[in-house]
Amino acid sequence: MKTPTFKRPTKIEVFVIALILAVIYVMVIPAILSSRSRGKRVACTGNIKKLNAALVAYANDHGAYPQKLSDLYPKYVSDLNVFVCPGKPKKITQPEEIDSKGGYVLLLPGGSPSTDVSDDRRLLCDRRFNHRDGWGEPWGGNVLYCDGHQLMNMDKAVTNRSAGSLPTFDFPD
């Protein structure tokens, strides 16, 4: 009985296999990175919803929004991680770091809440360019409005949603 002999692959065969693997790599990696960034945006949306509930509770108790986000801790938000945007995480270990290292900016500090359900004032937003696309380029951020809705803006500037007025501003640093 003969033992099977294996023929070594030629250089062209190795090159073709390497080319096929490179094409697969180029197609798969952006999809993986995109899904990771999408997951971070969804987690950020959850944090903003928690902060919205805390801001509403604070405004109901005090008649105005807090002067700074750290005023919500620990009575209204007991977890420091809620103040960290997953899109650009910075470790917060002390409550004093919420306003300097946190992932969100309060846009109406001390402002009065409105009973108008169409109130489109911006209340809270991501810090500058927290969210990036699959290639790491700045992509946009979440904005929470006083009426409770939030939008993920895909621009570097946030626009007002009111009909007829489109003022823009850059995300705060």
pLDDT above 90 covers a percentage of the chain that reads 13
Predicted confidence (pLDDT) per residue in 92-118, tens digit: 888 888 888 788 888 877 777 665 555
Residue 72, number of CB atoms within 10 A of its CB = 23
Q: Can you tell me whether residue 10 is helix, strand or coil?
A: coil
- DSSP-assigned letter for residue 40: H
Type of residue numbered 41: R
DSSP 3-state of 95: helix
Q: CA angle 119-142-169, nearest 5°?
A: 70
Mean pLDDT confidence for 123-132: 72
Q: What beta strand segments (E) does the chain contain?
A: 104-106, 122-126, 131-132, 138-145, 150-153, 157-159, 168-170
Q: What is the mean pLDDT of residues 123-128?
A: 77
Among the ranges given (30-34, 41-45, 128-132, 164-168), the one the predictor scored with the smallest mean pLDDT: 164-168
Q: Which amino acid is at 6?
A: F
Per the confidence metrics, is the pTM higher than 0.85?
A: no
pLDDT band at 16 (very low <50, low <70, confident <90, very high): very high
Alpha carbon separation from 44 to 41, 82, 103, 164, 165 (Å, rounded): 5, 9, 9, 29, 27
Distance CA(147)–CA(18), nearest Å, equals: 55
* Assigned token pair, 142: 């979440």
